[in-house]
Amino acid sequence: MKNLVTASAVLAVALAAGNAAAEEATIAVAANFTAPMKIIAEMFAEDTEHTVVTSFGATGKFYAQIKNGAPFEALLAADEKTPKKLADEGAGVADSRFTYAIGTLVLWSAKPDLVEDGKALLASGDFNKLSIANPKLAPYGVAAVQTMEAMGLKDALEPKLVMGENIAQTFQFVDTGNADLGFVALSQVMQNGEITKGSGWVVPADMHAPIRQDAIMLEPGKDNPAVAAFLEYLKSERALEVIHAFGYETE
């Protein structure tokens, strides 16, 4: 990927990280953000003296783990509700919260020619299974349910649903052929502006609530300079380039 950031911008990020010795940040990351996060984490290590250790999973499960004392120092959630709740409950640093990405839902199949008109395909029922993320744990699952409701197809599609614990497992069900279709994150099937495999229909944004993904520093990380540096790095031009390449919008 082209490096569009200037040398001065890299220096500014490094200075923002402070002159402290290299530290390590432990960060919980929503599963939909796995691919861009891996790239951004590598760039962060190159551009600063700090490193990050990441865990990927469902936002709802991370919330439960954090409340039970898991030593995560920051959360990159798949929604805005969970970080706000953590801040309100005193588990997160309120003024550190910001929207790092706005997600896009896509109806996707590993079969190249299956998805042309997403609405028509869902209405026809001409497929075996439809995979969605568990809406009790994953915001992309909530968006999938809202989309089916907006089309008036939720009840008709219910018997065909295969539930993934998170968006990564949802994608896996479709990628392996256990489901013909799935509502997944566009970031899982897109890079540099193109769907890289299979076929897909990008769900219109007005069919579900916005998937605003917020980041927040957690209480265990408030004295770790690597945590503050990484959250600031997410707003940098270099990180934003990666985020946009995977189909996310930003503010």
Parse the chain into domains and list their residue ranges.
7-102+212-245, 105-202
> Is residue 247 within 8 Å of 203, Cβ to Cβ?
no
φ and ψ at residue 91, rounded to 5 degrees: -90, -10
Give me the tens of pLDDT residue by residue for the chain, a chain 251 residues long. Answer: 434 444 344 434 444 444 457 899 999 999 899 999 999 999 999 999 899 999 999 898 999 999 999 999 999 999 999 999 999 999 999 999 999 999 999 999 999 999 999 999 999 999 999 999 999 888 899 999 999 999 999 999 999 999 998 899 999 999 999 999 999 999 999 877 788 889 999 999 999 999 999 999 999 999 999 999 999 999 999 999 999 999 999 98
Q: What pLDDT score does 192 carry? A: 75
- Measuring CA to CA, how many Å separate 106 from each of 95, 182, 239? 32, 8, 23
Place of tokens 């957690």: 218
Q: What pLDDT score does 142 carry? A: 93
Quick one: which of 164, 183, 166, 250 has its CA closest to 214?
Answer: 250
Q: Are strands 105-109 and 130-133 parallel, antiparallel or unpaired?
A: unpaired
Q: What residues are paired with 212 via a beta bridge? A: 102
157: left (phi over 0), alpha (psi -120 to 50) or beta: alpha
> Is residue 227 within 8 Å of 25, Cβ to Cβ?
yes
Domain topology for 105-202? D-Maltodextrin-Binding Protein; domain 2 (3.40.190)
Largest CA distance in the chain: 60
> Is residue 168 within 8 Å of 55, Cβ to Cβ?
no
Domain topology for 7-102+212-245? D-Maltodextrin-Binding Protein; domain 2 (3.40.190)
pTM score: 0.81
Q: What residues are paired with 76 via a beta bridge? A: 29, 215
> Is residue 214 within 8 Å of 77, Cβ to Cβ?
yes
Q: How far apart are CA 93 and CA 74, in angstroms?
A: 9
Q: What pLDDT score does 91 carry? A: 97
Quick one: which of 246, 220, 251, 192 has its CA closest to 38?
Answer: 246
Q: Which two three-digit tokens encode residue 190?
A: 């897109």
Q: How far apart are CA 150 and CA 105, in angstroms?
A: 14
Q: What residues are paired with 245 via a beta bridge? A: none
Q: Strand, helix or coil at 37? A: helix
Domains 7-102+212-245 and 105-202 agree in fold: yes
Neighbours of 114 (CB within 10 A): 17
